[in-house]
A and B are shown apart, each in its own frame.
Chain A
């Protein structure tokens, strides 16, 4: 994900604060629709589509990430068609129940909100998002915690992968491990982690750490960043107030 943020499109160069605020506004607007909304969500796809195409991001990769986390929303949403069976819409001869409509609505919400969040990081990178958080007066200890956590995430994930691989090669890949082995593995991982943190602390001290972490905040925002927020927000409000697909459809139907 972070390697995507290394891109160099105008969107990448945008103030991360602008992207953060716009993303939040987007999500709140999308979520504020009633539960049977389906058509009104369609115009909102312009935002992720715009970010992906103008930012030159791999659409397939993002889509895969979205699918990966979809089970929970689908699991809870799938009860809607079962419980709410009253017919709501006729499309030709087919009757569609309210439950299916709200289910589709949940799926659309899900896709929109998750892609928006993923695109925020893909276009800014985690460090820039943290910078934006500092600028937006999120408490320093929390931002420092986010940065530290993120930095060591991959180190420890790699370490736990190594441990698991080592176990597998010694057990001839015989399925999942038992409880005792698991506890000992996790326990050792924890001990290593604690030792690592002690080493990091000493390294920090020897480099002059005095209890304060200084997060660089070199971000500037200009007219482009402001207008990014304003234009998109107005557009979202417009989409929220007017049901574009229905209006457009009615217009077309009336014309012909």
Chain B
């Protein structure tokens, strides 16, 4: 459920970047303040563990599908929220850079969806509240199942909100929500069960590890007010940026319309077209003069009725010819460069 660059608008992407970058800076400060040297290699190796563990699948009985460990919740349980958030962010960064999973602009969204929810909502307000200071089998299991499920549901909802507000995908909000939430409820429960089982395994084998971690973060260490203020700021940034765009561009479609048709009208008066017209008048073989007139009509037409500005045979043929030609030029340039690179070597 990684968001992809292709599905988000720059406003959404950049505002999520701001939020995630701020959280990374804050967590870095916190981890530095903790000054626990041991955590430096521990965080790195645990990140790698999550990555490696995701490669192992198990079969879910009676469904024919398979599941694996997600990671956010178990990291938080082992490391505490601040360090876990940094680990999660680093895992997602490497996934974006090396595997193209997600993407660089969508990285902010992904860190938000998969990092902030488990580390700063599900862990302090669900897992810690249920598991408490005195760990017991039942509490750990309930806490991690509910925690992981809620975190994943929130993450999936984040994906929906980011996708819908970007307006690149046509999926309407309600359909998308109905599609995402139930699937992720199932995934979340599976992840919760796996998390609980692995935590229990560690607890049985080496109980001192978990006790040590729960000593790192006494309950109430995370300031409730700070979390809410943080979320409020996040909401303000996204809301502000989105509404600003929403007001000037009522709708992605209309905006695109306006943009393209507006430009065409401009070009008609502009220097490019004037000179083109001059050339054309001299060199016209086809009776192409009507072309420009038609274009102007299209410009007016599209402003009134929302359809693609190129909804005219002439223009779309021109577009295809031009597109093909541009592509050809790029391929030639690439081949030329490659040959040069080889001769230089």
Task: State the A residues within 8 Å of B (CB).
Answer: 1, 9, 23-24, 27-28, 30-32, 34-39, 42-43, 45-46, 49-50, 52-56, 65-66, 68-69, 72-73, 76-77, 79-80, 82-84, 86-92, 98-99, 101-102, 105-107, 109-110, 113-118, 120-121, 126, 129, 138-142, 144-153, 155-157, 159-161, 163-164, 175-179, 181-187, 189-191, 193-194, 196-198, 200-201, 204-205, 209, 211, 213, 243-256
Contacts and interface: CB of A to CB of B under 8 A. Distances in A.
Contact of B206 (A32, A191, A254): A191
A44 B312 CA distance: 25
Contacts of B247: none
A236 to B, nearest CB: 13
Nearest to B272: A247
B288 A254 contact: yes
Given A90-B313, A197-B46, A255-B280, A52 B334 contact: yes
Interface string B9-45: 1100110000000001101110110010110111111
Contacts of A106: 6-7, 168-169
26 contacts: A24-B104, A31-B105, A43-B330, A53-B336, A69-B100, A72-B2, A73-B4, A76-B171, A90-B316, A114-B103, A117-B100, A141-B31, A142-B28, A146-B90, A147-B44, A148-B45, A153-B51, A157-B55, A178-B61, A182-B56, A187-B197, A194-B46, A244-B326, A245-B325, A246-B310, A250-B322
Nearest to B5: A113
Contacts of A99: 170
Interface string B100-143: 11011100000000000000000000000000000000000000
B48 A114 contact: no
Given A117-B103, A254-B280, 20 more contacts: A36-B256, A52-B334, A54-B337, A72-B2, A77-B7, A77-B169, A88-B310, A89-B310, A90-B312, A110-B5, A129-B97, A142-B86, A181-B58, A187-B202, A197-B41, A204-B41, A246-B310, A253-B291, A254-B276, A255-B279
A46 B333 contact: yes
A55 B340 CA distance: 11
Nearest to A183: B197
Contacts of B89: 142, 145
Q: Which of A115, A248, A254 has the most CB of B within 10 A?
A: A254
B70 to A, nearest CB: 12
Contact of A141 (B28, B209, B263): B28
A190 B29 CA distance: 27
Contacts of B276: 250-251, 254
A148 B46 CA distance: 10
B194 interface: yes
A142 B24 contact: yes
A39 B323 contact: yes
Q: Which of A120, A178, A186 has the most CB of B within 10 A?
A: A186
Given A113-B104, A129-B97, A177 B59 contact: yes
A139 B26 CA distance: 9
A84 B252 CA distance: 14
Contact of A187 (B28, B201, B285, B311): B201
B161 interface: no
Which bucket holds chain B's interface residue count? 35 or more
Interface in B69-96: 69, 86-87, 89-91, 93-94, 96
A161 B314 CA distance: 58
A207 B206 CA distance: 28
Interface of B: 1-2, 4-10, 13-14, 24-25, 27-29, 31-32, 35, 37-38, 40-49, 51-53, 55-61, 66, 69, 86-87, 89-91, 93-94, 96-101, 103-105, 163, 167-172, 194, 197-198, 201-202, 205-206, 209, 252-253, 255-256, 259-260, 263, 272, 276, 279-280, 283-286, 288, 291, 307-308, 310-323, 325-327, 330-331, 333-338, 340-342, 345
A249 B319 contact: yes
B56 A185 contact: yes
A67 B338 CA distance: 23
Contacts of A150: 94
A232 to B, nearest CB: 14
B260 to A, nearest CB: 7
B100 A118 contact: yes
A27 to B, nearest CB: 5
A246 B252 CA distance: 21
B206 A37 contact: no
B171 A148 contact: no
A109 B341 contact: no
A45 B35 contact: no
Given A148-B40, A187-B205, A204-B41, A68 B99 contact: yes
B202 A91 contact: no
Nearest to B57: A176
Nearest to B9: A31
B252 to A, nearest CB: 5
Contacts of B47: 145, 148-149, 152-153
A42 B327 contact: yes
A109 B5 CA distance: 7
A245 B341 CA distance: 28
A200 B308 CA distance: 60
